[in-house]
Amino acid sequence: MFSSAVSSSLLILHKPLARVIRFPIPKLPLSPNPRPLSSLSPAASALTPNAVGAGGRAGALSPAPITEDLQKIDVNPPKGTRDFPPEDMRLRNWLFYHFREVSRLFGFEEVDFPVLESEALYIRKAGEEIRDQLYCFEDRGNRRVALRPELTPSLARLVIQKGKSLSLPLKWFAVGQCWRYERMTRGRRREHYQWNMDIIGVPEVTAEAELISSIVTFFKRLGITASDVGFKVSSRKVLQEVLRHYSIPEALFGKVCIIIDKIEKIPVDDIKSELKSAGVSEEAIEQLLQVLSIKSLTKLEEILGDAGEAVADLKQLFSLAEKFGYSEWIQFDASIVRGLAYYTGIVFEGFDRGGKLRAICGGGRYDRLLSTFGGDDIPASGFGFGDAVIVELLKEKGLLPELSLQVENIVCALDPGLQGAAATVATILRGKGQSVDLVLENKPLKWVFKRAARINANRLILVGDSEWQRGMVGVKILSSGEQHEIKLDELE
């Protein structure tokens, strides 16, 4: 469509590109003058900052939309996923900063794994919700793969792979995106980020106590108190001791836990019939449900005796909690079993005392996970802490921080011809570690002040002709309005 405008007066060049042809650019109605070298032309500066769609280069030589058919795409992210525009990214970064900072305080090392894993890593037989919601598919090489629903299986895989080269205990943390394919009811998303901390190689309950301490430290940093949030703690060994008493096969254990985990979500009669079809006798079911209602360690001890590991572990954990200084955050609750099949000992769950929100985080001991992958077992415990419920809680409590963009300097040329000089000033300041928003077009001062306010700049550096000739720039402190000239080499 533009080719008809091209002049046909071609000049053959002599050398070295003998056959290359010279194309004088035609003067077209919309662009009557040759474009000046400096493109800070009045036409460009007339662009208002919010004029979305008005900003295309005005010259007639602008190409048509490249090569594609026009298609109207869906401008929303895929169902259940999120964009992170700057304001949301600031919140995410703030949250992740605290995840990382707490992990650092506890001496943990960061790790990560592929977001895409082999599906086999998640195929467990206990009928967990997490498996039903696996975001899995076949790749172009016909491999069954899945977007990871959790981080622990990848961690176990890596630990087996590294084998004896690892110095135990490992204290590892990760902040990674996890996926589930869920019917989009209840406004739940299909992806979330999860902070995990894991201790590999410590059989003692000290590990679980340390992990809960790190979550408490995290809550405190955010302004969340023990009256906002608590931890319900139990042990899978409680159920185990009951099941063993009724001679229920060990192989059923994971499945029973998964059924019981649904106790607050589905009617108790459904729980009973699920347990029955899993092969648990009616007597055992009644017993289980009774034990699950216990909220006191003393009562648990009355029932299970004091010689078993369940009670001993829990007693030790509560004793350590006192020494760590978070007794008021935790309580025994036998109904907590957690929805993952691989837990073997202590399990815990952070909950909103207001009762409005789902579990905030959860974890426990999983001493037998590695052998389910064919590795040698190593005692392990860990937790997962998602980025969704915590944000709801912070909103609820008025604890969401106000995070705004902050750029230290805004640098602006007062004359289109000084754009290069402004670039020099920006480079000097950046070299000294100062952040600079360089105004890239010729804009009226009013616009520059508006932008300075939007980016919360401390200083406005103005590059004007007469100052520049004297090696100076104008500096305006935006909080006070104070204004002075500074020599370029004294700019800090």
Tokens 């992958």 belong to residue: 373
Q: What angle do CA 369, 116, 182 make, to 5 degrees?
A: 85
Residues forming beta bridges with residue 118, ordered by sequence position: 145
Instruction: Report whether 359 contacts 348 (CB < 8 A).
Output: no
325 dihedral zone (left: phi>0; alpha: psi -120 to 50; beta)? left
In angstroms, what is the minimal distance from the CB of 456 to its own copies?
11
- Pick 37 or 484: Cβ nearer its own copies: 37
Number of residues interacting with its own copies: please give it, by CB under 8 A: 202
In angstroms, what is the minimal distance from the CB of 27 to its own copies?
8
Site map (CB under 8 A) of its own copies, residues 370-399, x = contact: xxxxxxxxxx--------------------
- Pick 13 or 266: Cβ nearer its own copies: 13
Task: Report the alpha-carbon distance of residue 173 to residue 196 in Å, rounded.
Answer: 5
236 dihedral zone (left: phi>0; alpha: psi -120 to 50; beta)? alpha
- Pick 2 or 477: Cβ nearer its own copies: 2
Task: Report the alpha-carbon distance of residue 442 to residue 439 in Å, rounded.
Answer: 8
- Pick 1 or 264: Cβ nearer its own copies: 1
**Does residue 270 bind its own copies (CB under 8 A)?**
no
- Of 166, 222, 263, 400, the residue at the interface with its own copies (CB under 8 A) is 166
Choose the binding region for its own copies from 248-256, 260-268, 346-354, 472-480 (rule: CB under 8 A). Answer: 248-256
In angstroms, what is the minimal distance from the CB of 437 to its own copies?
4
- Of 129, 177, 272, 464, the residue at the interface with its own copies (CB under 8 A) is 177
Binding to its own copies in span 290-329, by CB under 8 A: 290-291, 293-294, 299, 302-309, 312-313, 315-316, 319-320, 322-325
Binding to its own copies in span 90-119, by CB under 8 A: 90, 92-93, 104-107, 109-118
**Does residue 175 bind its own copies (CB under 8 A)?**
no
- Pick 354 or 456: Cβ nearer its own copies: 456
DSSP-derived secondary structure letter, 28: B
What is the distance, to the nearest Å, from the Cα of residue 191 to the centroid of all Cα atoms in its chain? 10
**Does residue 279 bind its own copies (CB under 8 A)?**
no
Instruction: Report whether 419 contacts 40 (CB < 8 A).
Output: yes
**Amino acid present at 140:** R
- Of 151, 178, 341, 472, the residue at the interface with its own copies (CB under 8 A) is 341
138 dihedral zone (left: phi>0; alpha: psi -120 to 50; beta)? beta
Binding to its own copies in span 399-418, by CB under 8 A: 405, 407, 410
Residue 204, both tokens: 């003692």
**Does residue 42 bind its own copies (CB under 8 A)?**
no
Burial (CB < 10 A; 0-12, 13-18, 19+), residue 295, is middle
Binding to its own copies in span 46-75, by CB under 8 A: 47, 49-59, 61-75
Please name which of 459, 261, 489, 285 lies closest in space to residue 359, comparing C-alpha atoms.
Answer: 261
- Of 97, 223, 245, 465, the residue at the interface with its own copies (CB under 8 A) is 245
**Does residue 335 bind its own copies (CB under 8 A)?**
no
Please name which of 438, 408, 414 lies closest in space to residue 426, comparing C-alpha atoms.
Answer: 438
Tokens 């009355």 belong to residue: 302
Backbone angles phi and psi of 459, in degrees to 5: -130, 145
- Pick 271 or 310: Cβ nearer its own copies: 310
Binding to its own copies in span 138-157, by CB under 8 A: 138-141, 143, 145, 147, 154, 157
